[in-house]
Structure 1
């Protein structure tokens, strides 16, 4: 049986058997790696919003709602970008361009995830978190994916706001309000996003050019983008000092953040002085480790004094 016949036969299956056969494809639609990183930063926001007690409702129901909404936005991204994905070597095997999942099924799946996630947040967490999550979903799935990505080489700078929202969502899930410290977490991820993504864009420049997407390396060249990676990394290191400067965190976080930042700056400098084809992806890989370690340091710095006080008491 050829591929087309196989797909057609699959679509004739009852819904439950179709889902069982294609569960990996639906899982891929959710971009689980991206969602996991977003939920991790939301967890940090939730835990930093309290001093001692564990916010169980936010950690369970809140994160489930945030994860479902993020997965819905990812599925919409797959839907909108299906034509682009079909032209790019990195993405042509994704579930929709490969024909494994048909458009009506993907639309229904994205809608179900979005309604479920926002419903959980609205009714079981608080309306503010649901509203902010809805805004984040719209920002990524529609404003960035449908407009900015195709309109300007600054797409990832402007569109990065949606991806920077999870720690704020986590914070509001606990407190029901937006705190300045939560906005600092937002600012860190917002500043981190351009050098993180532009490293990948340098590596995939030919793919983006073929798909006619105006990513910075396509419109302004490789060298120009490498300089911007370095400039934004410098700005990021300065921004990561703000939690210490404002008293939100202490020396443990600050020293760790500066060490992590120096390593990240090293990648930025290396990308300027070396034409190694592997450096952009090594920088991209480190950027993920960097963000996770940075947020882990915020947690450690926040809870070590509490634990020490509890043990001492």
Structure 2
């Protein structure tokens, strides 16, 4: 079914799609892990709930702005052509109002029910993703996802700030892991969506430098990611349970990256992309379980 003849989704569903709920869920999950790691025991439930709601609202607002800015690009790509902004079934003003309401509510919740530090850090993340990454970096350089990845890596720091009202080195270590994870995760998607990105006009790495170059960079980043995931154990932030989990998960990541480098196929690229999402979720879950095991 083509975009032109596809039935229009209910309005509420169209709004929901613009907030990229799957990506938002992963970001909020990492933020919640940061909240629990920030406390030696169970954290106060009030900043956890309010922080989760506030961070979710502002993340959803940032993704809506991203869809608004990239509506012409989305219309040229098969993966995104059915978004309401790309099809024109939702007006620019409606998206602005949606983002304004979600972002405004998120800032109010974080400032009044959590703490000002979390609100300002989350607002800076909003600006970094919706404005600096989407408007400036993404159309400018094939290293866009590397430079702009800091915004997407911030959720653990936001969650930590929500509970502790501070962002110590341990929180930034979690940010570092996601920062290094982001390029190989996204490049795996860009590889099997290479034709789509070529149509978009965006200077994505597989388009500007070719698939072989991109596969090499995915492999190199996978080795760096392996090393980075060992750091929580090295600095005694975590114990043996996390160490074993990190070695196994990162070893699988390297294996997928190596296979992709040696013999490319779209199917392998899809598998790496899907595994990378599961990888990050399991890695952070292992951090939390290790944290609780060490408290027993």
Settle same-fold status: TM greater than 0.5.
yes
Select between 46-55 and 164-173 the one with higher mean Cα deviation.
46-55
2:282 maps to which of 293, 301, 305: 293
Please give the root-mean-square deviation of Cα atoms over the aligned residues, in Å. 1.6
Quote the offset at 1:305 in angstroms.
Answer: 2.6
TM-score by length of 2: 0.96
2:92 maps to which of 100, 103, 113: 103
Structure 1 stretches lacking a partner, 5+ long:
11-19, 309-313
Rounded Cα–Cα distance in structure 2 between residues aligned with 1:244 and 1:21: 48
Equivalent residue for 1:281?
A: 270
1:122 maps to which of 99, 103, 111: 111
Equivalent residue for 1:16?
A: none
Residue 200 in 1 paired to residue 166 in 2?
no
Larger radius of gyration: 1
1:116-169 CA-partner distances (Å, limit 9, x unpaired): 101111111111100000000000001000110000000000100000001000
Counting matched residue pairs gives: 292
Equivalent residue for 2:173?
A: 184
1:29 maps to which of 3, 18, 37: 18
Quote the offset at 1:276 in angstroms.
Answer: 2.1
Quote the offset at 1:53 in angstroms.
Answer: 2.9
Equivalent residue for 1:217?
A: 206
Quote the offset at 1:21 in angstroms.
Answer: 4.1
1:210-259 CA-partner distances (Å, limit 9, x unpaired): 11100000110000000000000100000000000000000110011000
Query: Which SS does the other structure have where 2:266 is aligned?
Result: coil
Rounded Cα–Cα distance in structure 1 between residues aligned with 2:78 and 2:57: 28
Equivalent residue for 1:91?
A: 80
Equivalent residue for 1:166?
A: 155
Quote the offset at 1:100 in angstroms.
Answer: 2.2
The verdict on how the C-alpha distance between 1:160 and 1:240 changes in structure 2, with shifts beyond 3 A counting, is same
Query: Which SS does the other structure have where 1:96 is aligned?
Result: helix
1:254 maps to which of 226, 243, 260: 243
TM-score by length of 1: 0.91
CA contact (8 A) 1:76 1:110 kept: yes
